[in-house]
Structure 1
Amino acid sequence: MPSPATTAAPARAGAREWAALVVLMLPVLLISVDNTVLNFALPEISRELRPTGTQLLWMVDAYPLVLAGLLVPMGSLGDRVGRRRLLLVGSTGFAVVSALAAFAPTGAALVAARALLGLFGSMLMPATLSLLRNIFHDPTQRRAAIAVWATGFSAGGALGPVLGGFLLEHFWWGSVLLIAVPVLLPLLVLAPVLVPESRNPAPGPVDVPSAALIMTAMVGLVHGLKDLGAHGPSPAVAAAVLLAAAAGTLFVRRQLRRPVPMLDLRLFRHAPFTGGLLNNLVASTTFIGVLFFVSQYLQLVEGVPPMRAGLALLPGAAVTIVSGLLAVHVVGVVRPAFVLGGGLLVMASGFLLVLLGDLSGGSVLVVALMVIGLGSGAAQTIAGDLILAEVAPEQAGAASAISETAYELGAGLGVAVLGTAVTATYAHRVVPPPGLAPEQAATAGETLGGAVDVAGALDPAASDQLLASAVAAFEAGVHLSAGIGAVLLGVTAVVVALLLRRVPRLRRR
């Protein structure tokens, strides 16, 4: 006869647990906003701080590079010292450094502050998701909590441009960084009361070499992808990728040899775990890729101001949120293979809409974002649940860190793959009018934004000719990028469905 321990239903969450979820949403929302909001402040930062070109690039890159490199070590550290403790340390550090960064006197100081924000940000994300795994034990409630958690990324991604545009219209550039202070103060007050502490009761020893190897691998790979997206193939890109591959190989070999590894690679033997990660990697790649060209098209081709362009993204974010919440109920009657595979195919149809539609006016892009959000919300919510369901509660931090790393890699790949398709096609097809100075021709031939700036200094006839060529070249790049995205999503949908073909319908209570 089965023991009561094996037949008893898991405890259901009450008001306290749902209140804890609301508190844990704060850092998720903040991290997502922080990923996009600084880009809108770069012109004013350039005027005020007068940074070098290299410093300007590192203001954007330092944060995601450090964040990506430290996600796995911080997830393991949270398993060891306590996830809530790590969350509170990270939140305190993030708020303090954000306040200091808002008043940075030089470009170099702002770069250093952004790197520190990456350090403290890496403490936040694995901790929030792994705490949910230990707060919500009922499978259906846990899926609902993860769906709400996932909306933080969509909401933050949409709010970033809107909030950034509003603040920059009314305040100085540092206001976009001060957002962290009022967001994180409630967390610091309420988390000790509402969020229970959790950790691995039998953690392994501190493994500094593994942390150094995984950080080297992640930083090298993300930096290489970003450099590839910005400048195309180069020896520097090859060196970064080779360094990442070497460090990654050494990290894997070290994990396989250690009795208590930082990252248990045996998790990848489980098809649901691997399928969920692959789903999130590709969904993130394509979603970031489409945002890359949608935001440019709305602002540079249609002439939409930044704040209104951000508002145009809100319908897609709303559909993503609703889709994720509905998927929690759908997965009780439809197997995960169909939910994830179908979600990716719906995303692919959104890319096909961009590929085959008339982009003028921007309405096709807005509708396509809604279709993409419909598939992304369902697929990524259930994938997140599958990833966490495959691990024991004491391993939740490491598993959450792997999931977050997939998102960060996807962001880099989105720019490197789909972004490069747009920029390379543009550079190949744009034809500057005769009579331009060499510097003008070079600027107009690199980016659509450069062409718009150059066109503003030309006579009407030459300006119209340049803008017509630039828009046509950019649209050709968007179509190519959309085609690549549709194929990538279609292939991944088949692979994920095959990996999950034996996973039954998820339990509902």
Structure 2
Amino acid sequence: MTTTASTRKDQAAEAATPTSAGSWRDWLALGLLMFPVLLVAVDNTALTFALPEIARSLQTTGVQLLWIVDAYPLVLAALLVAMGSLGDRIGRRRLLLTGSLGFAAVSAATAFAPTAEWLIAGRAGLGFFGAMLMPSTLSLIRNIFPDPNRRRLAVAIWAAGFSGGAALGPIFGGWLMEHFWWGAVLLVAVPIMLPLLALGPFFIPESRDPRPGRVDIISIVLSMLVMVPVVYGIKEIATAGFSLKAVAIIALGLAMGWVFVRRQRTLAAPLLDMGLFSNRVFSTAITANVLALFSFNGFIFFLAQHLQLLEGMSPSASGVAMIPALLATVAAGLLVVPLVRKVRPGFVVAGGLSLSAAGYALVAFGDHSAGPALLLAALLVLALGVGAAETISNDLILGSVPAAKSGAAAAISETGYEVGSLLGTAVLGSILTASYQRNLVLPEGVASSLPQGATHQAGETLAGAVELAATLQAPAAGELLATARAAFDSGVHITATIALVLMALTAVLAGTVLRKVPRAGK
């Protein structure tokens, strides 16, 4: 791997510290760091199971329910870069523990929210403290494990925890809602955080940038003015489709991004060191991360609709059906750790992205009408590829920057995760919806038998068509479902082909740019 002189000097200095001794304390520290990772991953998927009960209990409006979902990721995305840089300055362990305490306290208060407004404010508060957690965990791993081989395994475990938490979320959320009230989904954060708060100060070593600069408030505000409009605009497109309003909001965020970059280049101690992106290993690994998650979340978006609306599975049953693939993500992430001792990391990342492309090829050229087996097999192949690519690319992101900048690097990685996830749903989801609407042509006999306005309902979304079919008599119901299925599948073929090409090109990029990164131990 090509590194700067300052990076090599920093790594050499860290190798001489006690944290490189390979003691059991390092692995205990990693175990403690997994608690917030699991919590964030479980919380992301478990909350969806509580939304119907929240709507009934708090009598929310549609707009309020949308903000209950959106308040957390908007605030989280807005503050990731600022919090990553703040951790570099004040101490990553300090920031992690502060975020953990705040997250637990706000979760407890929000679990008993008497109104929708209270719950929305609580979700925003969780986003504020949540922004302190994920960059801190990843940057602390960089400093606890300066040895590349041990760090790579630690990053694989970190990624496995995140994937495992995502797999547990649907099951855990469904079980909580069957046995308790909706607030239990939030209240569970308190016992999960207790081990970290009790033992973290003793077993997690503190680390920070040895030469921190002043905190630039203007840069923090600008970073928020970048992320909030961009993330909000993407979510608008994902939920309501393309509109002038959504495009204008994203354009505002991009304009603020230009101002932010210009300011960072003029500051002696920037909030975000733009020089990190001049490192080809760093920037290529970030790109691979974003696009891998783009493809994965886009796949989940249409697979969930297929399983629930076309196969008739419940939300929890569809979540269980996806668990083998999510566990494959964990397994792939752990298995590539010894592999990079024999194969260059760039080729492993390229191979993982190629597997993702192969998963999409199964969807693009396969027949979806014979049940869910083909799509679940494609998800399994895609998950194996994402698990392999994500683990090694995250390790390359951390290893390609000086340890003093690990908080900022981790924050960029996490921001890429958020943006990639949102883009996958928004872009591929919008293309799928547009294709469905364009290709749905109702049989004349069905269209003439529908009440006024029902044609529009069926033509908007697959869910609308399925809901309408449930009110019709045979054979009209069957004809409507068959037509809707054909239109939806045609859109799936188009989006899968787009994702296939994108993953193939990203694999070529990774294999080309990262080909000179040496094998582990070299």
Question: What TM-score do the two structures reach when normalised by structure 1?
Answer: 0.95
Q: Is 1:436 paired with 2:445?
A: no
Pick one of 213, 218, 221 that aligns with 2:227. Answer: 218
The residue aligned with 2:344 is: 335
Shift of 1:42: 1.8
Bigger Cα displacement from structure 2, 396-405 vs 447-456:
447-456
Shift of 1:169: 2.4
The residue aligned with 2:490 is: 476
* CA-to-aligned-CA distance 1:185-241 (integer Å, 9 cap, x gap): 222112112211111122110111111111111111111111112222212112111
The residue aligned with 1:501 is: 515
Distance 1:443 1:180 in 2: 40
The residue aligned with 1:98 is: 107
Shift of 1:398: 0.6
Is the 1:204–1:260 Cα contact (8 Å) retained in structure 2?
A: yes
Shift of 1:30: 1.3
Bigger Cα displacement from structure 2, 124-133 vs 25-34:
25-34
The residue aligned with 2:25 is: 16
Is the 1:165–1:307 Cα contact (8 Å) retained in structure 2?
A: yes
The residue aligned with 2:431 is: 421
Distance 1:430 1:35 in 2: 33
Is the 1:12–1:136 Cα contact (8 Å) retained in structure 2?
A: no
Q: Is 1:373 paired with 2:387?
A: no
Q: How does 1:436-455 map to 2 (within 5 A)?
A: 436-455=450-469
Bigger Cα displacement from structure 2, 243-252 vs 188-197:
188-197
Letter in 2 for 1:441: T
CA 1:8–1:408: 2 relative to 1, 3 Å: closer
Distance 1:155 1:198 in 2: 27
Distance 2:49 2:436 in 1: 23
Letter in 1 for 2:376: V
Q: How does 1:204-353 map to 2 (within 5 A)?
A: 204-353=213-362
Distance 2:466 2:110 in 1: 31
Shift of 1:441: 2.9
Shift of 1:458: 2.1
Q: Is 1:160 paired with 2:174?
A: no
Distance 1:439 1:173 in 2: 35
* CA-to-aligned-CA distance 1:88-137 (integer Å, 9 cap, x gap): 11111111222222222222222111111111110001100001011112
Letter in 1 for 2:249: A
Identity of aligned residues (%): 53
Is the 1:422–1:478 Cα contact (8 Å) retained in structure 2?
A: yes
Is the 2:326–2:383 Cα contact (8 Å) retained in structure 1?
A: yes
The residue aligned with 2:149 is: 140
Is the 1:166–1:307 Cα contact (8 Å) retained in structure 2?
A: no
Is the 1:12–1:141 Cα contact (8 Å) retained in structure 2?
A: no
Distance 1:451 1:166 in 2: 30
CA RMSD of aligned residues (A): 1.8
Shift of 1:182: 2.0
Distance 1:107 1:338 in 2: 49
Distance 1:448 1:173 in 2: 28
Letter in 1 for 2:108: A
Distance 1:354 1:284 in 2: 17
Aligned residues: 505
The residue aligned with 2:197 is: 188
Distance 1:405 1:323 in 2: 23
Pick one of 370, 389, 404 that aligns with 1:394. Answer: 404
Distance 2:115 2:270 in 1: 41
Bigger Cα displacement from structure 2, 376-385 vs 40-49:
40-49
Is the 1:222–1:409 Cα contact (8 Å) retained in structure 2?
A: yes
Q: Is 1:81 paired with 2:90?
A: yes
* CA-to-aligned-CA distance 1:318-375 (integer Å, 9 cap, x gap): 2111111111111111112211111101110001111122223211121111111111
* CA-to-aligned-CA distance 1:17-53 (integer Å, 9 cap, x gap): 1111111111111112222222222222222222122
Distance 2:95 2:499 in 1: 37
Shift of 1:9: 8.1
Bigger Cα displacement from structure 2, 431-440 vs 80-89:
431-440
Shift of 1:308: 1.9
Shift of 1:286: 0.6
* CA-to-aligned-CA distance 1:436-484 (integer Å, 9 cap, x gap): 2344333322222222222222223222222222222222222222111
The residue aligned with 1:197 is: 206
The list of structure 1 runs, each at least 4 consecutive aligned residues, that deviate by more than 6 angstroms after superposition, is 5-10
CA 1:439–1:175: 2 relative to 1, 3 Å: farther
Structure 2, unaligned runs of 5 or more: 1-8
Distance 1:191 1:439 in 2: 59
The residue aligned with 1:364 is: 374
Shift of 1:6: 8.4
* CA-to-aligned-CA distance 1:251-288 (integer Å, 9 cap, x gap): 10011000111111111111110111011000011111
CA 1:441–1:182: 2 relative to 1, 3 Å: farther
The residue aligned with 2:3 is: none
Distance 1:228 1:337 in 2: 34
Letter in 2 for 1:405: T
CA 1:48–1:330: 2 relative to 1, 3 Å: same
The residue aligned with 2:5 is: none
Letter in 1 for 2:153: A
Pick one of 446, 466, 482 that aligns with 2:480. Answer: 466
* CA-to-aligned-CA distance 1:294-336 (integer Å, 9 cap, x gap): 1121112111222221111111112111111111111111112
Q: Is 1:178 paired with 2:187?
A: yes
**SS, match of residue 132 in structure 2:** helix
Bigger Cα displacement from structure 2, 248-257 vs 437-446:
437-446
Letter in 1 for 2:391: T
Letter in 1 for 2:260: F
Distance 1:348 1:455 in 2: 35
Question: What TM-score do the two structures reach when normalised by structure 2?
Answer: 0.93
Bigger Cα displacement from structure 2, 382-391 vs 437-446:
437-446
**SS, match of residue 123 in structure 2:** helix
CA 1:17–1:7: 2 relative to 1, 3 Å: closer
CA 1:28–1:319: 2 relative to 1, 3 Å: same
